[in-house]
Amino acid sequence: MKRRNLLAALPLLPLAAPPLAAPAMAQSYPTRPIRILVGFAAGGSTDVMARAMGPRRQALLGQAIVVENRAGAGGNIATEVATHAPPDGYTLLMGTIGALTINPTLYGNLPFDPLTDLTPISMIGEVPNVLVVPADRPFRSVADIIAAARAKPGDLNFGSSGIGSAGHVAGEQLNLMANIRTTHVPFRGGGALMPELLAGRVDFAFTTALNAIPQADAGFLRVLAVPNGHRVALLPDVPTVAESGLPDFDGMDWAAVLGPRGLPAPIQARLNAAFRAVLTDPAMVQAMAARRLVVEPSTPEELAAFLRTETARWAPVIRASGARPD
């Protein structure tokens, strides 16, 4: 199911519902630059998404939005800063699957709860991942990886951009659904994973199309599938893992924008309208597509319900994997 259809089908549940405020607040807001926190280093997919929206978003809001990278702990550092920021609309968070829906189960003792300590604003979009193998590996399909893993349990390894990342949980989901055992090798970001994958020291990985497709086009990697629950429009000829024999497999990565808990309703609405306008601009859709990113804006209510559903969906996968944070 397309992500926008899934969002539309979810019940509209409130998430950290902000208090009402005077309409004048939204009319005067913003009066100074806004910062948007990104929990990863510059150059990654989330960072690229945040920065690509800059000029159009600035024109709509009349103020600059400064991207601030607060990398570390799978996005937890940036998320915690956002939860402690004043709820005035001048600090926002570019959140991801890991920090918002996986880390609460993975860490277990976080000093914040993304479902109650943040105010949803809008989904930004999908970050298409691909299942890739080094070009010199014999694997031509998901079934080939599964067969090799069953023949030698624990012998194959898969890399990811870190514990709790979309690539990590997709690999653990593959282990569970295919009833196989492969060894997870975490790296500190996709930039560190790619050289090891290209050198053949990693057998396979779920990693971003942004990083993997150029290497596949150059003949260094082979793309086997996408972990999304549907085919990706940017890669129409690449089958899903579900189509490859594991029905209901869905390991899509995504990004969303949120503010601190208590963000006044008029400011929440102002920001949602601005992000939706940016993300439905044909020029922005094309610019994101060129970066192999897919825009999927939402209402705050749709995002709230989506986060609850994703958190509940990934919790048993994380528990069954036995994964622990670094």
Give Cα separations from 34 to 38, 65, 92 (angstroms): 13, 5, 8
Helix spans in 100-161 (H): 103-107, 142-151
Mean pLDDT, rounded, of the chain: 89
- The structure tokens listed for 135 are 């070009």
- pLDDT at res. 133: 98
Q: Are 83 and 118 in contact (CB under 8 A)?
A: yes
Q: Is 247 exposed, middle or buried (0-12, 13-18, 19+ CB in 10 A)?
A: exposed
The terminus-to-terminus CA distance of the chain in angstroms comes to 34
Can you name the residues that pair with 134 across neighbouring β-strands?
221
Which residue, chain included where needed, has tokens 């993997």? 212
Other C-beta atoms lying within 10 Å of the C-beta of residue 144: 16
- The DSSP 8-state label assigned to residue 229 in this structure reads S
Where does 3-126+253-321 sit in CATH, by number?
A: 3.40.190.150
Other C-beta atoms lying within 10 Å of the C-beta of residue 6: 18
- pLDDT at res. 326: 67
Model pTM score: 0.85
Domains 3-126+253-321 and 129-225 share a fold: yes
- pLDDT at res. 9: 44
Mean pLDDT of 89-117: 94
- Model confidence at 1, in pLDDT bands (50, 70, 90)? very low
**pLDDT exceeds 80 at position 22:** no
Give tens-digit pLDDT for 179-226.
999 999 998 788 889 999 999 999 999 999 988 999 999 999 999 999
Cβ-based neighbours of 214, under 8 Å, separated by 6 or more: none
- pLDDT at res. 14: 41
**pLDDT exceeds 70 at position 17:** no
**Greater model confidence, 209 or 44:** 209
Give tens-digit pLDDT for 236-253.
999 999 998 899 898 889
Query: What whole-number distance in Å separates Cα of residue 92 and Cα of residue 257?
Result: 7
- The structure tokens listed for 2 are 């397309």
- pLDDT at res. 12: 40
The domain segmentation of the chain, as residue ranges, is 3-126+253-321, 129-225
- pLDDT at res. 236: 92
- pLDDT at res. 108: 82
Which helix (H) or strand (E) segment is 271 a member of? helix 265-279
Give tens-digit pLDDT for 144-165.
999 999 999 999 999 998 888 8
Strand order of the β-sheet with 129-134 is 183-186, 157-160, 204-208, 129-134, 221-225
What is the second-level CATH architecture of the domain 129-225?
3-Layer(aba) Sandwich (3.40)
Q: Are 164 and 311 in contact (CB under 8 A)?
A: no
